[in-house]
Amino acid sequence: IFFRQSGSSFHVFDQGQFAKEVLPKYFKHNNMASFVRQLNMYGFRKVVHIEQGGLVKPEKDDTEFQHPYFIRGQEHLLENIKRKVTSVS
């Protein structure tokens, strides 16, 4: 994992290694898709880079995520990260 210098996002450069070594330490699984689903439920979004008018395709295993309240050095903002509530209609 690498945090952007600004502290506003984080990268997972090698999803396979991340799933194998990091996820089992903190979750009951080692499934990257499940981890991404959890991030999405809490409002994290994948960062898509646009350069020179076109989408730049990242490396296959390089994924970047951000959340407006997930900022390095701003621990007091973490309490604002909550699971999204789905409305039943």
Note the maximum CA span of the chain.
42
CATH code linked to domain 2-80: 1.10.10.10
Among 5, 65, 13, residue whose Cα is nearest residue 39: 65
Mean pLDDT per 10-residue run, the chain (89 residues)? 74 90 93 94 87 54 88 93 82
Which residue ranges make up each domain of the chain?
A: 2-80
Kindly write down the DSSP assignment for every residue of 12-75, as one continuous string: ES-HHHIIIIIHHHHSS---HHHHHHHHHHTT-EE---EETTEEPPPPTT-EEEE-TT--TT-G
Question: Two tokens at 9?
Answer: 């996002």
pTM of the model: 0.77
pLDDT reported for residue 66: 94
pLDDT reported for residue 45: 93
pLDDT reported for residue 2: 62
pLDDT reported for residue 51: 59
| Length of the chain as a residue count | 89
pLDDT reported for residue 52: 42
Question: Two tokens at 63?
Answer: 């994924």
Q: How far is Cα of residue 44 from the mean position of the Cα atoms in its chain? A: 6
